[in-house]
Structure 1
Amino acid sequence: MQSPRIMVMGVGNILLSDEGLGVRFLEELAKKPLPDNVELLEGGTAGLELVHLIKEVDFLIIVDAINARTEPGSLFRFQPGDLQVFPEEYEVSFHQVGILEVLTLAKVLGQAPETLIFGVQPKLLEWGMNISPEIQALFPQLADIVCNEIDSIQRDGQFSPSQVK
């Protein structure tokens, strides 16, 4: 049986401190021993051009900043279909073309992978290249959580049923 193609995509603007946490997180994840069928991709603030990058993937795990107006470092785990659970005042992405539009277009094209999103409440959203210490401190725990998801896909062919709140 062929291993599923798994992509972990970090999204965000690395020039706006914690807004770039998804991209910066990939550096932490890259320290882990990952299976050969796992690809790490810096999605940055790229928009619809990401569609062609995800169409060959079976499972997509996205890490991004999410403004839920809650405690910095709060972690959210959801799938695109879960987004009706978020009140309208939550900003699921800070980017011009959000990752959800990319996934919607991929779905329309019949090429959307199974997707899981980890959103992290940022602390700082000002100009600067550094991630705040509170968010940086979350990265090792988040790397373990993402690796557990990869293990679940490898073992069961699906995301784990557990929920992070």
Structure 2
Amino acid sequence: MTARVLVAGIGNVFLGDDGFGVEVVRRLSDVELPPWVRVVDYGVRGMHLAYDLAAAGHELTIMVDATMRGDEAGTVYVVELDTSASTAKPCLDAHGMQPDVVLNLVGLLGNKPRRVLLVGCEPSVLDHRMGLSPEVERAVDTAVGAVAGLIADHGG
């Protein structure tokens, strides 16, 4: 069965809370999901994610990442990303994982993803160390629940 939903864990585990998305998809491996859901740890492989988005035609993509919005550390949020127009400068940054850079790469590959949601978490620590801060660690299960809820809503 072709995956209708792609869940993309994004982040660098060597930069503290930037590993949030990677940890969320790791924990999702213990959750029973429908067969039409594909969960992938992309880490820092932005070009790989862009290629998958351009080639596969998923109905829904859920990116999971640590993203600074100015909220309290550990705050989890869901944001729908605008895929109608690229705002990023044309560049090929194979390790750039910011959602706008990835979506721009998809455009450069000649496609446009359908619906893209970001399940984000406000980081506390983004320095050269492994492991999540206590605030972000506590937010991982919240994010797992949010992703599972988005998948259930999409399937219904």
Instruction: Tell me the TM-score normalised to structure 2 length.
Output: 0.81
1:60 and 2:61 aligned = yes
Post-superposition shift, 1:4?
A: 5.9
Aligned residue in 2 for 1:8: 7
Contact conserved, 2:26 with 2:41, CA < 8 A, in 1? no
Aligned residue in 1 for 2:44: 45
Identity among equivalent positions (%) equals: 26
Root-mean-square deviation (CA, aligned residues, Å) is 2.1
Tell me, in whole angstroms, the C-alpha distance in 1 between the residues paired with 2:3 and 2:20. 26
Aligned residue in 1 for 2:98: 98
* Aligned residue identity for 1:44: G
CA pair 3-46 structure 1, distance change in 2 beyond 3 A: closer
After superposition, what is the alpha-carbon deviation per residue over 1:68-91, rounded to whole angstroms, capped at 9, x for unaligned? 233101122112229xxxxxxxxx
Aligned residue in 2 for 1:85: none
Post-superposition shift, 1:99?
A: 2.4
Tell me, in whole angstroms, the C-alpha distance in 1 between the residues paired with 2:35 and 2:75. 30
Structure 2: which 5+ residue stretches go unaligned?
84-94
Q: Aligned pair count?
A: 142
Aligned residue in 2 for 1:86: none
Partner SS, residue 32 of structure 1: coil
Farther off after superposition, 107-116 or 68-77: 107-116
Tell me, in whole angstroms, the C-alpha distance in 1 between the residues paired with 2:127 and 2:4. 35
Tell me, in whole angstroms, the C-alpha distance in 2 between the residues paired with 1:110 and 1:125. 32
Tell me, in whole angstroms, the C-alpha distance in 1 between the residues paired with 2:100 and 2:62. 13
CA pair 4-40 structure 1, distance change in 2 beyond 3 A: closer
* Aligned residue identity for 1:42: D
Structure 1: which 5+ residue stretches go unaligned?
83-94, 156-165
After superposition, what is the alpha-carbon deviation per residue over 1:8-57, rounded to whole angstroms, capped at 9, x for unaligned? 10111110110111111111221111111111111211223322212312
